[in-house]
Structure 1
Amino acid sequence: MALNETLLRRLIETPGVSGREEQQRAISREELGALADEVRTDLMGSVIGTKKGSDDVRVMVAAHTDEIGFLVKHIDDKGFLRLQTLGGHDPSNMVSQRVVVTTAGGEALKGALQPQRKPPHIATEVDKKPPTADEFFVDLGMEADEVKEKVRVGDYAVMDRTLEKVGANYIGKAMDDRIGVFVMYEAMRALGDHEATVYAAATSQEEVGLRGAAASGSALRPTVVVALDVTLAMDIPGGGNENEISALGKGVALKIMDGYSISHPKLVEHFRAIAERENIPHQMEILPFGGTDAGGVQRLHGGIPAITLSIPCRYVHTPNEMVNAEDVQAAITLLARYLEEAHTGDYAL
């Protein structure tokens, strides 16, 4: 089954960093407006679509809309922009990239992201040391007066990359976590009869501490939480079998644990049983660091059974994040089938 590439492209290419997800919110309201019985936006900026059920079970499905990026923190006398990072960046992946700066006035300004470095022709040994994040600036190619007229402190920047199909995979920026958002929308579209109430939460500010999910979960008081996010696919040179974590093309990953949460064991087994029964490709995942929206909600209200369905992704937190189309479809199918029978789950310990 082919993925909805038009929607995926729109999600990937539309910018939105933590706390500045307004363009993604517009997509969320549009998609969930067609899929849910009611849609609302909370004060943290998460968009929640409610699909009503007849049972007391309330499943919160959470996928975050924010991507890693930058805030403009200073404009110097020559018009160069200095940046504050949002989310986890490896400076080696930032060198000589193109970015798009979104202004308060709604303009999208393209520029070059560069570290303070001399060209290799005249570089000294000191210049050849790896740059740190605070050395980078954006060159918009404009005179300083024009830059200061268009850009202000607090405007944001993201990598300038488009979605591309490469073999059986897709590559682009912001797969973390727009691919999770995509899975959530498409699973809601594929959802059949269900008795549980489903809260589809397109959350904010995950990359800076799971903040949006925690606020939404506190208000919604779900009885089950299913987070959707990427996980590291280390089936690449230098990965090593014992450190693989997940691999592209082997299906959706059922997370057992990460650095912020341990998935409820009975919930893991429920998802595994559905995957085996329905012949949905899947793999088991242990990620000894990092976290997802599940960790932001799991400890609320005395504890909530939680799990993360992970989409394996190569090159996470780079401009070239890569996922496999069949893994994505497996995640969509598994989530939809679970929601149809979520009311049957017994997670008492």
Structure 2
Amino acid sequence: MSINVALLKSICELPGAPGFEKKIRDFVLEQVSPLVDAVQVDNLGNVIAIKRGNRNPENKRVMVAAHMDEIGFIVTHIDDNGFLKFHSLGGFDPKTLTSQRVIVHGKKDLIGVMGSKPIHVMSTEEKNKLPKLTDYFIDLGMPKEEVEKYVTIGDPITRERELIEMGNCVNCKSIDNRVAVFILIETLKQLEDPAYDVYATFTVQEEVGLRGANVSAHLINPDFGIALDTTIAYDVPGASAHEKITELGKGTAIKIMDASTICDYRMVAFMKSTAEKFKIKWQPEILTAGGTDTAGVQRMGKQGSIAGAISIPTRHLHQVIEMASKEDIHASIHLLKACLETLDAYDWKH
């Protein structure tokens, strides 16, 4: 099963830390505008692309949310030697940052290195401690006078990692959640017969509190909601069976709950039956820690929505690189399309 890896590569490699999504937003607008009936950008920066339903006398709305932002950092200080201190935008695993390259997005993009105290000069106590974000600084290889020509306090920082293919997987920074942006764009390309009006929503600032989803759901006021996001695939050595959550290559995941949402039982049942009907490989997902845009989609409309989520199993989540299966990505596109085209055929009253 093939996917458009070149498009996914372009989406993943663009920068877009929370609150600084302009470059990825501009790319999304370019991609979706020819595919839909109307496009708008709200004051927070969410992109809402509307594709009208073909069988919709009651004007029902389904909101599909994929967040555009990626975990990143923001410059907080430039010291006398030109080294940068920073604050995180979203959750990072600090132990994965040692000596990693980042891009500081100032007046021009500058490559930096995440520096920390060398192991050779650490005390025994320091060697036995897990690193903290505050242990790191960013080295641009420039003196302060040169750094200040290009960098100011408040500039965003993103990871520097290109997309590569590994086996039947893709590996890159920002698979979370650019793979969902990709899935939503590819679904819009294939979506010919939506049952209800589809509000394909590319949200901002999910990684710092679901902010874009909350605002856009309040505006759209959806009857149905589907979030698209990555989830943990802890299918690696040392993982017990009950810890895995999902596994790569076992299909798209149908969310039952995460830390911020218990999905509507009707949406879960609908997604399961749709996957079975269309012979789409799937697996259940219960994520006990970590929230997604599902919460905003479900709760921020005037009457709430019948909401659930399609999740993409991902290894190494919230680290420097992340990995997903091309088969699972393909299955996610297939399931989303099938759901949007058959929403009106399901008995939502039971």
User: How does the TM-score come out when normalised to structure 1?
Assistant: 0.96
Rounded to whole Å, the distance in 1 between the matches of 2:349 and 2:82 is 60
Encode CA deviations 1:294-332: one digit per residue, 9 max, x unaligned: 111212223211101000001100112110000000000
Encode CA deviations 1:229-263: one digit per residue, 9 max, x unaligned: 01100111122101111000010000001110111
Partner of 2:321: 320
Superposition deviation, residue 271 in structure 1: 1.0
Any runs of at least 4 consecutive aligned residues in structure 1 with deviations exceeding 4 A, and if so which?
none
For residue 43 of structure 1, give the secondary structure of its aligned residue in structure 2: coil
For residue 231 of structure 2, give the secondary structure of its aligned residue in structure 1: strand
Rounded to whole Å, the distance in 2 between the matches of 1:346 and 1:79 is 63
Superposition deviation, residue 120 in structure 1: 2.8
The answer to whether the aligner puts 1:60 opposite 2:63 as a matched pair is yes
Candidates 49, 69, 72, aligned match of 2:72: 69
Rounded to whole Å, the distance in 1 between the matches of 2:123 and 2:89 is 31
Partner of 1:80: 83
Partner of 1:136: 136
Contact kept in structure 1, 2:53 and 2:193, CA below 8 Å: no
Superposition deviation, residue 134 in structure 1: 1.6
Rounded to whole Å, the distance in 2 between the matches of 1:319 and 1:148 is 27
For residue 298 of structure 1, give the secondary structure of its aligned residue in structure 2: helix
Contact kept in structure 2, 1:252 and 1:330, CA below 8 Å: yes
For residue 120 of structure 2, give the secondary structure of its aligned residue in structure 1: coil
Rounded to whole Å, the distance in 2 between the matches of 1:251 and 1:317 is 21
Contact kept in structure 2, 1:305 and 1:347, CA below 8 Å: no
For residue 239 of structure 1, give the secondary structure of its aligned residue in structure 2: coil
Partner of 1:235: 235
Superposition deviation, residue 338 in structure 1: 0.9
For residue 290 of structure 1, give the secondary structure of its aligned residue in structure 2: coil
Partner of 1:121: 120
What amino acid does structure 1 have at the position aligned with 2:236? I
Partner of 2:293: 293
For residue 121 of structure 2, give the secondary structure of its aligned residue in structure 1: coil
Partner of 1:211: 211
Superposition deviation, residue 269 in structure 1: 1.0
Contact kept in structure 1, 2:63 and 2:297, CA below 8 Å: no
Encode CA deviations 1:47-82: one digit per residue, 9 max, x unaligned: 111001241221100000100010001111111111
Contact kept in structure 1, 2:3 and 2:330, CA below 8 Å: yes
Rounded to whole Å, the distance in 1 between the matches of 2:228 and 2:243 is 22
Q: How does 1:89-100 map to 2 (within 5 A)?
A: 89-100=92-103
Rounded to whole Å, the distance in 2 between the matches of 1:126 and 1:79 is 29
Rounded to whole Å, the distance in 2 between the matches of 1:290 and 1:216 is 21
What amino acid does structure 1 have at the position aligned with 2:99? S
Partner of 1:247: 247
Contact kept in structure 2, 1:229 and 1:309, CA below 8 Å: yes
Partner of 2:339: 338
Rounded to whole Å, the distance in 2 between the matches of 1:321 and 1:78 is 33
Partner of 2:153: 153
Contact kept in structure 1, 2:195 and 2:342, CA below 8 Å: yes
Encode CA deviations 1:112-165: one digit per residue, 9 max, x unaligned: 0112x1x23333224423221122111111121110110001111111101010
Contact kept in structure 2, 1:57 and 1:342, CA below 8 Å: no
Rounded to whole Å, the distance in 2 between the matches of 1:318 and 1:34 is 34
Query: Unaligned 5+ residue runs, structure 2?
Result: none
Rounded to whole Å, the distance in 2 between the matches of 1:245 and 1:130 is 25
Identical aligned residues as a percent: 42
For residue 320 of structure 2, give the secondary structure of its aligned residue in structure 1: coil
Contact kept in structure 2, 1:172 and 1:321, CA below 8 Å: yes
Contact kept in structure 1, 2:52 and 2:196, CA below 8 Å: yes
Contact kept in structure 2, 1:314 and 1:322, CA below 8 Å: yes
Contact kept in structure 2, 1:210 and 1:293, CA below 8 Å: yes
Contact kept in structure 1, 2:65 and 2:297, CA below 8 Å: no
What amino acid does structure 2 have at the position aligned with 1:85? S
Rounded to whole Å, the distance in 1 between the matches of 2:77 and 2:125 is 25
For residue 245 of structure 1, give the secondary structure of its aligned residue in structure 2: coil
RMSD: 1.2
Contact kept in structure 1, 2:172 and 2:322, CA below 8 Å: yes
What amino acid does structure 2 have at the position aligned with 1:91? P
Contact kept in structure 1, 2:112 and 2:139, CA below 8 Å: yes
Q: How does 1:151-300 map to 2 (within 5 A)?
A: 151-300=151-300
Contact kept in structure 2, 1:57 and 1:343, CA below 8 Å: no
Partner of 1:302: 303
Rounded to whole Å, the distance in 1 between the matches of 2:126 and 2:255 is 42
Of the structure 1 ranges 137-146 and 201-210, higher mean CA displacement relative to structure 2 is found in 137-146
What amino acid does structure 2 have at the position aligned with 1:98? R
For residue 288 of structure 1, give the secondary structure of its aligned residue in structure 2: coil
Rounded to whole Å, the distance in 2 between the matches of 1:293 and 1:230 is 11
User: How does the TM-score come out when normalised to structure 2?
Assistant: 0.96
